Amino acid sequence: MGFLDRMSTYIPLLAGASNPLLGLLVKLAVIVVGAQILIYAVNLSLAKVIKKTTMKLGRDARRIDNVVAILRSVIKYTAYFVAGLMILDALGIDTKALLAGAGIAGLAVGFGAQSLVKDVVTGLFLLLEDQFAVGDHVQMAGVEGIVEGVGIRVTQVRDFSGALHTIPNGSISTTTNWSRGNMRAMVEVSIAYEEDVNKAIAVLKEMCEAMTKDLPSIREGPDVLGVSRLGESDMGILLLAKVAPGEQWAVERELRKRAKEALEAAGIEVPYPRRVIMYGPKPKDKDSQIAEHLIKVKERGEDAGAEKHV
């Protein structure tokens, strides 16, 4: 015996068996109120579960709010759909035929909107897995930039030229996130071969120690790793630090600036490309060379004739 059949035994007692219209209205009211109570109870239970999960895993509150909103919408529309079927059944409409027709229509829509379904499903998993959040520096679908919006169907990323890219979630296969954990700041400083490499390393270490105290964004280092390269006219000394997400470029710029100042203050030359130009006699053209050759031949001939005459 179904829910409506069980309720029909009590509704006549409330509405009166002699008034079927009033009984039908009461039955419809019970369905609507029951759907609302079900939605409220499920949302209340969902909020408690999400709150415990957030406190346990430490997830981003914005991301959790997005997931909760999606789940609440799914629950609400599912409850409304079931309540609508119950109302149609109470009105004497054959819901089986409607469900069969809706199944065929849903199949046709599913074939025509495969990309839309893929975008929505992928977006739901992106939200649940917390792969990135608004404000993160990421690379996805061939676009690198800052995430400005995360939705159930699309994700918006603004690149460093200022262009805003709207990416369907279904096209996101690999995501690279530079905003989780420490980032690496790496700089190579060059010195001339004529300089004392041990003195240069000592100067750079002293500079790095002072820089650690001045910049709170540095979480580890900077460390002088030693000679990393032997070039044609210079040696490379590698500096490495771990910094807060998004601060690696600023720290690298400051490292280069302070390294140059420290080396110059210590009298250590920072090499730069040089070009040596050597000047010689002006090259002679082909006609001049031929004329000189003929004169030399003539002079040799005259000298030989004079010797013979003598």
Query: For the domain that residue 195 is a member of, what is the CATH number?
Result: 3.30.70.100
* pLDDT classification of 277: cutoffs 50, 70, 90: confident
Question: Phi/psi of residue 249, each to 5°?
Answer: -70, -40
- Residues 224 and 256 both lie in one domain: yes
**Average pLDDT rounded to a whole number, residues 224-252:** 89
Decide if 303 is inside a domain: no
Mean pLDDT over 174-198 rounds to 89
Is the pTM higher than 0.75?
Answer: no
- Residues 149 and 51 reside in one and the same domain: no
Structural domain containing residue 210: 183-265
Confidence of residue 199 (pLDDT cuts 50, 70, 90): very high
What CATH code is carried by the domain that includes residue 161? 2.30.30.60
The number of folded domains in the chain is: 3
**99 lies in some domain:** yes
Whether 306 is covered by a domain: the verdict is no
Residue 134 lies in a domain: yes
3-state class (DSSP) for residue 219: strand
pLDDT of residue 298: 62
Q: What is the CATH number of the domain that holds 22?
A: 1.10.287.1260
Do 187 and 152 have their domain in common? no
Give the residue-averaged pLDDT of 87-113.
68
| Domain assignment of residue 46, yes or no | yes
Range 277-295 average pLDDT: 63
Determine contact, residues 160/145, Cβ cutoff 8 Å. yes
Q: Over the stretch 18-52, which tens digit does the pLDDT of each residue have?
A: 566 676 777 778 778 888 888 788 777 777 776 66
Q: Nearest 5 degrees, angle CA 236-CA 241-CA 242? A: 150
Which pLDDT score is estimated for 309?
45
Residue 310 has pLDDT above 50, yes or no: no
DSSP structure class, residue 17: T
* Contacts of 122-128 spanning 24+ positions with Cβ under 8 A: 122/169, 122/170, 122/172, 123/151, 123/152, 123/153, 123/154, 123/155, 123/169, 124/70, 124/152, 126/150, 126/155, 126/169, 126/172, 127/63, 127/66, 127/67, 127/70, 127/152, 128/67
Kindly state whether residues 141 and 224 are assigned to the same domain.
Answer: no
Residue 148 has pLDDT above 70, yes or no: yes
Among residues 58, 83, 112, the one where a domain terminates is 112
pLDDT tens-digit map of 75-91: 777 888 788 877 777 77
Task: Kindly report which listed range (38-42, 215-219, 255-259) carries the lowest average pLDDT score.
Answer: 38-42
- Facing residues of 86 across strands? none
Question: Are 107 and 11 in the same domain?
Answer: yes
Instruction: Say what the pLDDT of residue 296 is.
Output: 66
| Cα distance between residue 226 and residue 133, in whole Å | 38
Q: Please report which confidence band the pLDDT of residue 54 belongs to, taking 50, 70 and 90 as the band edges.
A: low
Domain co-membership, 79 together with 151: no
Same domain, 7 and 60: yes
Residue 15 lies in a domain: yes
Shared domain check, 197 and 171: no
**Based on the domain organization, do 7 and 101 belong to the same domain?**
yes
Question: What average pLDDT does the segment 188-197 reach?
Answer: 90
Task: For residues 173 and 196, state if they share a domain.
Answer: no
222 and 173 belong to one structural domain: no
Say yes or no to pLDDT of 295 above 50: yes
- Do residue 165 and residue 196 come from a single domain? no
The 8-class DSSP code of residue 191 comes to E
- Per DSSP, 2 falls in state -
Position 247 pLDDT exceeds 70:
yes
Q: Is residue 308 part of a domain?
A: no
Among 180-184, 208-212, 267-271, 277-281, which is the least confidently predicted range? Answer: 277-281
Write down the pLDDT at residue 203.
93
Residue 293 lies in a domain: no
Spatial neighbors of 136 by CB under 8 A, at least 6 apart, are 146, 147, 177, 178, 179, 180
Percent of the chain with pLDDT over 70: 67
Q: Examine the pLDDT at 202 and tell me if it is beyond 80.
A: yes
Q: Does the pLDDT value for residue 7 go beyond 80?
A: no
